[in-house]
């Protein structure tokens, strides 16, 4: 027995059918489940040139290989499709309990094709799978829809169902919309919500109660016990959050170095990712003033985003499925300024940065409201923040008039105008309509392309390539460009990949400028980082497990125990390489030119910054680094197209012949 159910559910909304199909073991051996299974299926089944918002696009929901085995930090689910934002591979990832719900229905993944004429939802309880009328839920925001579905279905289901749904942004085909679960936790990137909206699929509701398989549950349990012991219950002194701004200033001056991954655990357990905000502003990691500012511009902001302030509002801490860390929380917003909503999820760093320092917005209260507004609408906060930043810079430079912005005074830090613009984007009203499709489309319509921060059509995550040049390589070499969850130099320092992989270089203490150089060592580091991240996604793991390092979160041992295999780290890294190569081949098949993904000039250091930790930093060897990364993968170093011998070496030619 392995951890795979061996079955997938294929739904055609064109005719309302749902069919269970079996997947042969060799597919799982090659790509695991999660994003790997999706990459294999979508590459094979979405025809070249398919309209991302048409019936030929397929929307996939998948759980990872380790989900349900008892392995810690393996409750993530991935939604994937052809992205309407980039025209190529698209995926987004979220936590909660939706991943085990897929498996408890007896499936590793659900693939949805076709377009329904009327709003529908998919219901599956492990015995039946059917497409049902969703007209009563269409028009509701994601939280309202989820609550309404629970009210209607909880009393008639044997087990409380899990719901993943779109909000109004997905219904309105916003190209920066995502898919939500658990009251607005969102798989946000790649425009996956627009694809779900185009299919008129409001929700997927899962209520199965089947057992989740595992080869050796006792061995998995022992590994989790060991990890639990290592995650020492440490509490940091109260008021520590106020020092993060200072810590960031120190980090900005320090060399790159190997780190102990348990530091990340302490931080995420205590505050969640939000703790990164003041640190990022002062260290050079977090973008300021549409990626063109310095910590001087953001003076006074770090204390506003002191993580202790946010923790004081916390009424509930929560965990994803099978996670001992619990970085999530609910905040009480009653009595706060702009309080249209009484509560919200604790915002992620990406959201705080996108609507705080990126816009020079000093109002934490406004960002908490925007967090709830966008989570309920199901709109990506990273993309929305980058788009608002573009609009402000255009307005400040006279490229947009007050008439064009519907009377909004879009100046840096104008909280009221920022809030009003976000509402317009959510409602697709007036000036907000074009912005609801992201910064590339908005700048094509209104001009100001020099201020439009995107890579291949997708807005970048809130981390600056000038501070982390390895991330700059991943931003453009990644088949879903602009994602920050696919490899960072900072993370590599904690991952210890050389302990499991014979070709992964060790992390060393070195001057940061070394990371800007094009060397074989750097190419192997970025390759190893990408392969391990893909392996993690195939396993359904959380990125914070990755950051702990392989000596704490023992992914290889977990997989061997759960599947009954006896493979070494090199073998598993090749699985990651195969998944990444399949995603790249998907882009090539869809006519996307990998070489067309470019870092915005500003992120390359032109013009260079005049102060702060990134003062004068440029990335002249960035393109050469990307070529070396492709070469390390066995892809053409000029075009980024996987070479035929690589496709053969990874067995992808045989894999794509498997018929399901």
Query: What's the min distance (Å) between Cβ of 228 and ligand SF4?
Result: 13
Cβ atoms of 286 and 388 within 8 Å: the answer is no
Query: What's the min distance (Å) between Cβ of 272 and ligand SF4?
Result: 7
Among residues 73 and 588, whose Cβ is nearest to ligand SF4?
Answer: 73
Query: What's the min distance (Å) between Cβ of 65 and ligand SF4?
Result: 15
Query: What's the min distance (Å) between Cβ of 92 and ligand SF4?
Result: 14
**Contact window for ligand SF4 (CB under 6 A) among 302-310, 317-325, 389-397, 445-453:** 317-325
267 binding ligand SF4? (CB under 6 A): no
Query: What's the min distance (Å) between Cβ of 535 and ligand SF4?
Result: 16
Distance (Å, rounded) from C-alpha 337 to C-alpha 363? 9
Among residues 111 and 268, whose Cβ is nearest to ligand SF4?
Answer: 268
Write out the binding residues for ligand SF4, residues 65-84 only, by CB under 6 A. Answer: 73, 75
DSSP string, 90-102: EEEEE-SSHHHHH
Among residues 525 and 539, whose Cβ is nearest to ligand SF4?
Answer: 539
Query: What's the min distance (Å) between Cβ of 94 and ligand SF4?
Result: 9
Handedness of CA 557, 560, 566, 568 (dihedral sign): negative
Query: What's the min distance (Å) between Cβ of 271 and ligand SF4?
Result: 11
Distance (Å, rounded) from C-alpha 55 to C-alpha 114? 4
Task: Pick the closest to residue 483 from 335, 338, 378, 583 (CA basis).
Answer: 583
Q: Which of 44, 210, 317, 319 binds ligand SF4 (CB under 6 A)?
A: 319
Bond into 607 cis (ω within 30): yes
Cβ atoms of 102 and 61 within 8 Å: the answer is yes
**Contact window for ligand SF4 (CB under 6 A) among 254-262, 325-333, 353-361, 367-375:** 325-333
Among residues 324 and 407, whose Cβ is nearest to ligand SF4?
Answer: 324
CA distances from 26 to 20, 87, 127 (A): 18, 30, 26
Phi, psi of 72 (to 5 degrees): -70, 150
323 binding ligand SF4? (CB under 6 A): yes
Among residues 98 and 475, whose Cβ is nearest to ligand SF4?
Answer: 98
Give the H/E segment covering residue 577: helix 569-589
Neighbours of 159 (CB within 10 A): 14
Among residues 194 and 559, whose Cβ is nearest to ligand SF4?
Answer: 559
User: How much is the CA Rg of the chain, to the nearest whole Å?
Assistant: 23
Q: Which of 153, 320, 417, 425 binds ligand SF4 (CB under 6 A)?
A: 320
Among residues 273 and 627, whose Cβ is nearest to ligand SF4?
Answer: 273
| 59-63/77-82 β-pairing | antiparallel
Query: What's the min distance (Å) between Cβ of 547 and ligand SF4?
Result: 9
Task: Pick the closest to residue 614 from 326, 273, 292, 162 (CA basis).
Answer: 292
Write out the binding residues for ligand SF4, residues 524-563 only, by CB under 6 A. Answer: 542, 544
400 binding ligand SF4? (CB under 6 A): no
Q: What does the per-residue mask of binding to ligand SF4 show for 7-46, with x meaning CB under 6 A?
A: ----------------------------------------
Burial-class residue 428 by CB neighbours within 10 Å (0-12, 13-18, 19+).
middle
Task: Pick the closest to residue 613 from 248, 360, 312 (CA basis).
Answer: 248
**Quick one: three-class SS letters along 599-641?**
CCHHHHCCCCECCCCCECCCCCCHHHHHHHHHHHHCECCCCCC
Query: What's the min distance (Å) between Cβ of 181 and ligand SF4?
Result: 12
Cβ atoms of 431 and 406 within 8 Å: the answer is yes
Among residues 379 and 548, whose Cβ is nearest to ligand SF4?
Answer: 548
Q: Which of 64, 90, 95, 347 binds ligand SF4 (CB under 6 A)?
A: 95
Neighbours of 221 (CB within 10 A): 15
DSSP string, 264-282: HHHHHHHT-GGGHHHHHHH
Q: Please give the DSSP secondary-structure letter assigned to residue 121.
A: E
Question: C-alpha dihedral over 316, 320, 326, 332, to 10 degrees?
Answer: -20
**Contact window for ligand SF4 (CB under 6 A) among 19-27, 319-327, 408-416, 608-616:** 319-327
Cβ atoms of 547 and 266 within 8 Å: the answer is no
**Contact window for ligand SF4 (CB under 6 A) among 160-168, 316-324, 342-350, 497-505:** 316-324
Q: Which of 328, 432, 538, 612 binds ligand SF4 (CB under 6 A)?
A: 328
Residue owning tokens 């908490």: 368
Query: What's the min distance (Å) between Cβ of 178 and ligand SF4?
Result: 16
Among residues 248 and 328, whose Cβ is nearest to ligand SF4?
Answer: 328
Among residues 325 and 599, whose Cβ is nearest to ligand SF4?
Answer: 325
Write out the binding residues for ligand SF4, residues 207-246 only, by CB under 6 A. Answer: none
Token pair of 392 as six digits: 């402000």
Helix axes 569-589, 622-633, angle to 10 degrees: 110
Query: What's the min distance (Å) between Cβ of 327 and ligand SF4?
Result: 3
**Contact window for ligand SF4 (CB under 6 A) among 48-56, 326-334, 432-440, 512-520:** 326-334
Task: Pick the closest to residue 603 from 514, 478, 483, 472 (CA basis).
Answer: 472
Among residues 73 and 652, whose Cβ is nearest to ligand SF4?
Answer: 73
Query: What's the min distance (Å) between Cβ of 456 and ligand SF4?
Result: 26
Distance (Å, rounded) from C-alpha 524 to C-alpha 450? 32
Residue owning tokens 């023992």: 554
Among residues 328 and 613, whose Cβ is nearest to ligand SF4?
Answer: 328
Query: What's the min distance (Å) between Cβ of 462 and ligand SF4?
Result: 17
Query: What's the min distance (Å) between Cβ of 526 and ligand SF4?
Result: 23
Query: What's the min distance (Å) between Cβ of 626 and ligand SF4?
Result: 29
326 binding ligand SF4? (CB under 6 A): yes
Phi, psi of 53 (to 5 degrees): -105, 20
Query: What's the min distance (Å) between Cβ of 77 and ligand SF4?
Result: 11
Neighbours of 643 (CB within 10 A): 17
Cβ atoms of 552 and 230 within 8 Å: the answer is yes
494 binding ligand SF4? (CB under 6 A): no
**Contact window for ligand SF4 (CB under 6 A) among 222-230, 322-330, 523-531, 618-626:** 322-330
Cβ atoms of 41 and 31 within 8 Å: the answer is no
Number of residues that bind ligand SF4 (CB under 6 A): 13
Token pair of 22 as six digits: 């079996």
Binding footprint of ligand SF4 on the chain (CB under 6 A): 73, 75, 95, 268, 319-320, 323, 325-328, 542, 544
């Amino acid at each position: 027995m392995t951890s795979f159910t061996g079955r997938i559910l294929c739904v055609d909304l064109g005719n309302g059918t749902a069919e269970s199909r079996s997947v042969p073991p060799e597919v799982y051996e090659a790509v695991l489940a999660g994003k790997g299974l999706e990459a294999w299926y979508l590459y094979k089944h979405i025809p070249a040139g398919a309209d991302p918002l048409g019936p030929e696009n397929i929307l996939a929901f998948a759980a990872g290989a380790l989900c349900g085995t008892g392995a810690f930090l393996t409750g993530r689910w991935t939604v994937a499709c052809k992205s309407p934002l980039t025209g190529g591979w698209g995926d987004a990832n979220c936590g909660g309990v939706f991943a085990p719900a897929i498996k408890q229905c007896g499936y590793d993944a659900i693939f949805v094709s076709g377009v329904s004429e009327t709003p529908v939802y998919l219901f599956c309880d492990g015995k039946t799978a059917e497409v049902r009328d969703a007209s009563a839920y269409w028009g509701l925001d994601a939280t309202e829809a989820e609550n309404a579905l629970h009210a209607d279905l909880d009393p008639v289901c044997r087990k409380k169902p899990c719901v993943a749904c779109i909000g109004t942004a997905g219904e309105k085909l916003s190209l920066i919309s995502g898919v939500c679960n658990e009251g607005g936790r969102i798989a946000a990137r790649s425009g996956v919500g627009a694809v779900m909206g185009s299919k008129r699929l409001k929700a997927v509701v899962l209520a199965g109660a089947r057992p989740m398989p595992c080869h050796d549950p006792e061995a998995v349990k022992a590994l989790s016990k060991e990890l639990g012991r290592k995650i020492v219950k440490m509490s940091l002194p109260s008021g520590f959050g106020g020092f993060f701004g200072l810590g960031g200033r120190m980090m900005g001056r320090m060399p790159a170095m190997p780190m102990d991954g348990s530091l990340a655990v302490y931080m995420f357990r205590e505050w969640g990712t939000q703790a990164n905000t003041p640190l990022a502003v002062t260290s050079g990691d977090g973008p300021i003033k549409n990626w063109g500012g310095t910590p001087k511009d953001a003076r006074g902001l770090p204390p506003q985003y002191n993580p202790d302030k946010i923790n004081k509002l916390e009424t509930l801490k929560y965990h994803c499925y099978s996670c001992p860390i619990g970085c999530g929380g609910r905040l009480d917003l009653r009595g706060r300024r702009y309080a249209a909503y009484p509560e919200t999820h604790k915002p992620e760093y990406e959201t705080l940065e996108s609507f705080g320092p990126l816009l020079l917005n000093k109002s934490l209260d406004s960002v908490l409201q925007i967090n709830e507004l966008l989570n309920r609408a199901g709109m990506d906060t990273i993309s929305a923040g980058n788009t608002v930043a573009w609009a402000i810079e255009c307005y400040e430079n006279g490229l947009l008039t007050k008439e064009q912005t519907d009377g909004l005074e879009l100046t840096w830090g104008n909280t009221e105008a920022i809030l009003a613009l976000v509402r317009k984007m959510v409602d697709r009203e007036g000036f907000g309509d074009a912005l609801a499709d992201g910064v590339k489309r908005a700048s094509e319509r209104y001009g100001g392309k020099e201020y439009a921060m995107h890579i291949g059509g997708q807005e970048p995550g809130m981390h600056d390539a000038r501070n982390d040049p390895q991330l700059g390589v991943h931003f453009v070499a990644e088949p879903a460009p602009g994602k920050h969850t696919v490899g960072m130099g900072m993370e590599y320092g904690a991952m210890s990949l050389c302990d499991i992989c014979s070709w992964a270089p060790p992390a060393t203490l070195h001057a940061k400028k070394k990371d800007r150089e094009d060397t074989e060592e750097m190419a192997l580091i970025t390759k190893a980082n990408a392969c391990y991240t893909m392996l993690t996604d195939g396993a359904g793991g959380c990125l914070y497990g990755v950051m702990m390092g392989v000596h704490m979160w023992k992914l290889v041992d977990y997989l061997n125990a759960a599947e009954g295999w006896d493979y070494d780290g090199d073998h598993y890294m090749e699985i990651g390489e195969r998944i990444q190569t399949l995603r790249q081949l998907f882009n090539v098949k869809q006519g996307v030119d990998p070489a067309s993904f470019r870092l915005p000039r500003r992120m390359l250091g032109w013009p260079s910054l005049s102060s702060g930790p990134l003062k004068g930093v440029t990335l002249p060897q960035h393109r050469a680094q990307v070529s070396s990364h492709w070469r390390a993968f066995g892809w053409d170093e000029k075009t980024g197209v996987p070479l035929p011998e690589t496709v053969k070496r990874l067995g992808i030619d045989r894999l794509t012949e498997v018929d399901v």
